[in-house]
Amino acid sequence: MAELTVEVRGLTKRFGERTVLHGLDLDIAPGEFVALLGRSGSGKSTLLKVLAGLDTAVTGKATVDGQVSVAFQQPRLLPWRRVWRNVVLGLHPVRGRDVALKALDEVRLADHADAWPRTLSGGEAQRVSLARALVREPGLLLLDEPFGALDALTRLAMHRLVEDLWQRHRPSVLLVTHDVDEALLLADRVLVLDEGRISAEYVLGHPRPRTVTDDRTAVDFNRVRTKVLGDLGVTERATA
Amino acid sequence: MSVSTLGAPVRAETNPESPPTAKKRRRLPDLRRWISPLAIVALWQIACGTGFLPPDKLSSPWTVLQSGIELTRSGELGDAFVVSTTRVGIGFVIGGAIGLVLGIVAGLSRWGNFLVDPPVQMLRTLPFLGLIPLFILWFGIGEEPKIALVALGVAFPLYLNVHSGIHNVDSHLIEAATALGFTRTERLFHVVLPAALPNTLVGLRQSLGIAWLSLIVGEQVNASSGLGYLINNAREFLRTDVIVVGLVVYAALGLATDAIVRLVERRALQWRS
């Protein structure tokens, strides 16, 4: 196994006059869960597209060891394919229903295998999207705000599910999110992206599963949260 | 105020009850809707019977029915039916292929769009039924001008719908497919074309409607066979009953092809329901 799943050196991306990524460096170790926070326009999506191989018009070096899978904010299922066919979409050569069913079972949707994507709820569709990403046994799983469009309760359940799947399959994960608490709950390492560079890094070695309200971690989490929010240009009220 | 606050929940409660009854009604068509059409046919029959409507203006429904049976028995109607359906069939295949291919080319490639779309959009504004004199000069008075007219009428609606269907494919789906390792060809067949299918089927329905219309107009010109010939020939002999039979067959053919496309739609677009 390579020493690093992701190795990015001096990555620069320009859109005309505007420089979105500014000589960015990033390492992700095998099996590491990294959360990437940043304001809108900080270059998060661009970095993700580069890592996903969707944007190759860049300078610098970006290598990924192994298969890359993406789960987007919207599930992006093909509406004219039944759920199980959507799951095996990214397998080349195409493989059968049993593979799909196994993957769907992991996201507890095996009984929806023959449903049309339109009939699923937002959370269910997002779980299918996760199954589709994981069935490829990726070395790197890119999560582009995959919980952003879900309601609060569904989001909590999804956090648990993602952590669970990550521990079972052990891909490296890069989670792009706006939600600081989500990053604190899930990540081994939290990165803040600002003006096209990694501007801050926090390593979280807390035992899992974590909760924000856990007494042992609450003080620590509050400290990191305040710092991260500061990095993002938000100052918390003292009374909050 | 109390009325309105009471009124809202009552309405909300009765609403869930109404869909089943509506469904039942759709399964068993409301017979009351048949009263006026039947009355009109009855009046028509009476008007003919009393001599108010002379047969050289309009034959009675009963006479029309009898002529229909007569024409079917003699094989005249069957022959005309085959000739006309063949014309529409050939014209539809030619025009459909042209519309489909041009729509895909213009929808998929930027240069295709630059080169194909402007002339098609310009030609589309021509009243194509007005091209008959030119078509007669170009193709004579045989089968060719009739088929060409059908093909022309079919090509435009199909082109427009295929073009816009491909143009409006959700770019997010294409991006997701790319991230899953799809090649350009795979994206075309698994994402772009299926996404354009609903629009294509809409275009198909419009095309078929226009195909029959073009045929009817085309067959008024110097036809020596087909339904149009049957009708024109009947006019010479003041046989209004035969004219009406011809019209009814045209209408039935139009309805039948529309029903076929709707059936295809229901099967191919299951995922939308």
Residue A116 maps to a domain? yes
Residue A227 lies in a domain: yes
pLDDT tens column, A7-30: 999 999 998 888 899 999 999 999
Provide the pLDDT for residue B26: 59
How many Cβ pairs closer than 8 A exist between chain A and B?
A: 44
Q: Is A107 inside any structural domain? A: yes
Q: Which of A76, A90, A117 sits opposite B181 (nearest CB)?
A: A90
DSSP-derived letter for residue A29 is -
The answer to whether residue A176 sits within a structural domain is yes
Q: Does B174 contact A at CB distance below 8 Å? A: no
Mean pLDDT across the stretch A153-158? 90
Residue-wise pLDDT for A187-217, tens only, equals 999 999 988 889 999 998 888 888 877 777 7
Using alpha carbons only, what angle is made at residue B196 by residues B192 and B199, rounded to the nearest 5 degrees? 170
The ipTM estimated for the assembled molecules is: 0.87
User: Does the pLDDT value for residue A2 go beyond 70?
Assistant: no
DSSP SS3 for A11: strand
Look at B271 and A90 and tell me if their CB atoms are within 8 Å: no
Q: What is the DSSP string of A104-136?
A: HHHTT-GGGTTS-GGGS-HHHHHHHHHHHHHTT
Residues of B numbered 180-209 whose beta carbons fall under 8 angstroms of chain A's beta carbons: which are they?
Answer: 180-181, 190-191, 194-195, 197
Distance from CA of B15 to the nearest CA of A (A): 23
Mean pLDDT, rounded, for A108-133: 94
A49 — pLDDT class (breaks 50, 70, 90): very high
Q: What is the pLDDT of residues A163-191, one digit of tens each?
A: 999 999 999 999 999 889 999 999 999 99
B176 to A79: CB separation less than 8 angstroms, yes or no = no
Check CB contact under 8 Å for A76 and B181. no
From B82, B79, B85, select the one nearest B215 (Cα to Cα).
Answer: B85
* Interface contact B181-A74, CB threshold 8 A: no
Look at A54 and B175 and tell me if their CB atoms are within 8 Å.
yes
Query: Residue A72 and residue B191: Cβ atoms within 8 Å?
Result: no
Indicate the pLDDT class of residue A236, thresholds 50, 70 and 90.
low
pLDDT in tens, B144-175: 999 999 999 999 999 999 999 999 999 999 99
Domain contains A1: no
* Count of structural domains, chain A: 1
Rounded to whole angstroms, how far apart are CA atoms A164 and A130?
12
Residues B151 and B92: beta-carbon distance below 8 Å: yes
CATH for A101: 3.40.50.300
- The pLDDT value given to residue B12: 38
pLDDT less than 70: residues of chain B: 1-27
- Residue A14 within any structural domain of the chain: no
Using a CB-CB cut-off of 8 Å, the residues of chain B touching A74 are 172
Measured CA to CA, the distance from residue B153 to residue B175 in angstroms comes to 36
Give the tens place of pLDDT for each residue, B217-237. Answer: 898 877 889 999 999 999 999
So what's the pLDDT on residue B28?
A: 72
Task: Find, among B195, B208, B204, B200, the residue nearest to B163 by Cα.
Answer: B200
Domain that holds residue A97: 28-50+65-231
Specify the length of chain A in residues.
240
Taking the domain B62-268, which CATH number applies? 1.10.3720.10
pLDDT at A41 over 90: no
Q: What is the mean pLDDT of chain A?
A: 89
Q: What was the pLDDT predicted at A240? A: 42
Residue B13: per-residue pLDDT:
38
Which residue of chain B is at minimal alpha-carbon distance from A129? Answer: B176
Q: What is the mean pLDDT of residues A102-111?
A: 93
Residues in A closer than 8 angstroms to B175, CB to CB, are 54, 76
